[in-house]
Every structure is written in C-alpha cells, then in structure tokens.
C-alpha cells in the first residue's frame, strides 16, 4: 500500500477533480480536503461562515481569501493531515491563497501540484449533468432516469444537484477560473512544482496518469 502525500489538484470546474480526488484519497490513504465540500457543510449547518458565504457560492463567486486561508490553516493542522498529508481540492484558487499556503506549510511542503487539463467547451456540458454525493464528494452523471432519492453507491450519502451547477453560475465560475486561478499554473510552474495531466479520457486512464505523476515526485 502506498501512503502519505501532500498534493494540490488544480483544473477547471468539471475537469473531473472530484472523482480523481476521491480515488486518490483512498489510494494514498490521505484525507481529501475539498474547500467546496467544507463550505457546503457550513451552509447546511447554518454556521456563521455558512450564512456569510451562501449567496456568493450560489451565484458562482469566490469566497474571500482571508476566510479561505483561515479555514484551510485550521484543517491542515489536524492530526490526520499533519501525519499522513492531504489532497487539496478547490484550494488555492488565487495567487494570494497560494502564497499564504506556502507560508503555513513551510515545515511540510507540497510534493506536487497537478493541473488536470480539460478544454472549457468539454466541461460546460459535464457540469450541467453533474450530481454530487453530499457526504463523500463522489461525482455522478445524470441521465434522466435516476432513483429518487438517489443514494451514493460508495457511502450511502444523498446524491444531489449542486445549487451552483446552473448555466449562469457555471459560466461565472469558469470565467473566475481563467482570471483568478489560471495564474497559479505560472506560479507553481515557476517554482518547479507543477505537473500538467491530460484530463481527457476515461477516469481509469486519467487516474493512472495522476498516480504515475505523484509517485515520481514523492
Ligand atoms: P467547488 O466545490 O470547489 O467547486 O467550490 C464551490 C464554491 O465554493 C466555489 O464556487 C466558491 O464559491 C467556493 N470556494 C471553494 N473553494 C474556494 C476557494 N479556495 N476560494 C474561494 N472560494 C471558494
């Protein structure tokens, strides 16, 4: 069994990050830290953060950097992340967040940042049909004949249509990806931490490309 790794997965929304992260988390036996999942849980639980971010999330905007950095700092200081590592999914999303993350992880730096590359035209359709497990984050594709309620085959959680998977919010998120998140490719590339992965193909093919890249860097 391979275990332990500190990874960041970048890539457009709908590039298959969620699916790959769930598998990677099992493969390397590390927690999958999805900031989107953490925020959605906060919204469901009506916490102070949840109430503050709900509208931003529903309309496809970006939550403020300070909130995000504090959330991640707290999460990676927990025992499981400190001893085993983590897969960061959805964070960092801005250069500010990436710089703050470097500062908070100096003693345990990232092994590698993977950029899952899928063209924009391909992801819009995928996102509209996407359904997500509320508990484990597994992704599914709706075909129109789903069971109701739809239960996740991995963990038994509820499979739902995300409030921000509407055409307007999808386009806004993709625009924000180009303007705010794509600069991270240069940021991590400059410091030799980036590996681009072709994200087009079957989930198994992409997974094998991803694990090969991680194994070469750990
Ligand atoms: P995701 O599940 O990663 O697509 O995230 C869903 C939504 O949560 C995003 O559209 C943002 O509104 C918010 N969000 C998640 N992670 C971040 C982040 N690192 N910075 C800012 N907003 C975020």
113-152 pLDDT per residue, tens? 999 999 988 898 889 899 999 998 888 999 888 888 999 9
CA 216 to ligand 1 center in whole angstroms: 29
What does 35-60 look like in DSSP terms, one character per residue?
HHHHHHHHHHTT-HHHHHHHHHHHTT
86-104 pLDDT per residue, tens? 999 999 999 999 999 999 9
Q: pLDDT value at position 125? A: 83
CATH of domain 5-209: 3.40.50.300
Nearest of 86, 66, 89, 64 to residue 77 by alpha carbon: 86
H-state helical runs in the chain: 17-28, 35-44, 48-58, 65-76, 79-84, 95-104, 120-128, 167-176, 183-190, 203-217
Q: pLDDT value at position 182? A: 95
Higher-scoring residue by pLDDT: 13, 9: 9
CA 1 to ligand 1 center in whole angstroms: 32
1, pLDDT greater than 50: no
Residue 213 confidence class, pLDDT cut points 50, 70, 90? very high
Q: Give the mean pLDDT of the chain.
A: 94
165-195 pLDDT per residue, tens? 998 999 999 999 999 999 999 999 999 999 9
58, pLDDT greater than 60: yes
Query: Cα–Cα distances in Å, from 160 out to 74, 91, 103, 212?
Result: 27, 22, 36, 32
23-37 pLDDT per residue, tens? 999 999 999 999 999
3, pLDDT greater than 90: no
Protein residue whose Cα sits closest to atom 10 of ligand 1: 60
**In this structure, are residues 16 and 116 in contact, taking their beta carbons and an 8 Å threshold?**
yes
CA atoms within 13 A on the CB side of 207: 14
Nearest of 27, 186, 158 to residue 95 by alpha carbon: 186
**In this structure, are residues 21 and 87 in contact, taking their beta carbons and an 8 Å threshold?**
yes
Q: pLDDT value at position 2? A: 58
The percent of residues above 70 in pLDDT, for the chain, comes to: 99
Whether ligand 1 lies within 6 angstroms of the CB of 31 is answered as no
Angle between helices 65-76 and 95-104 (to 10 degrees): 30
CA 91 to ligand 1 center in whole angstroms: 8
Whether ligand 1 lies within 6 angstroms of the CB of 52 is answered as no
Whether ligand 1 lies within 6 angstroms of the CB of 93 is answered as yes
């Amino acid at each position: 069994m391979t275990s332990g790794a500190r990874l960041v997965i970048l890539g457009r929304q709908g590039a298959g990050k969620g699916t790959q992260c769930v598998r990677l988390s099992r493969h390397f036996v590390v927690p999958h830290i999805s900031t989107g999942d953490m925020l959605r849980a906060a919204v469901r639980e009506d916490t102070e953060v949840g109430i503050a971010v709900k509208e931003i999330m529903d309309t496809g905007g970006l939550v403020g950097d300070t909130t995000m950095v504090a959330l991640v700092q707290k999460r990676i200081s927990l025992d499981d992340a400190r001893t085993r590592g983590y897969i960061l999914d959805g964070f960092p999303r801005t250069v500010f967040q990436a710089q703050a993350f470097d500062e908070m992880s100096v003693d345990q730096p990232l092994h590698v940042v993977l950029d899952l590359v899928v063209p924009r035209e391909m992801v819009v359709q995928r996102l509209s049909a996407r359904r997500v497990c509320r508990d484990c984050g597994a992704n599914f594709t709706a075909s129109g004949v789903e069971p109701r309620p739809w239960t996740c085959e991995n963990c038994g959680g509820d499979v739902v249509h995300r409030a921000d998977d509407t055409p307007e919010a999808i386009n806004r998120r993709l625009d924000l990806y180009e303007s705010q998140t794509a600069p991270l490719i240069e940021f991590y590339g400059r410091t030799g931490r980036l590996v681009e992965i072709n994200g087009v193909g079957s989930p198994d093919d992409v997974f094998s490309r991803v694990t090969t890249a991680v194994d070469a860097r750990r």
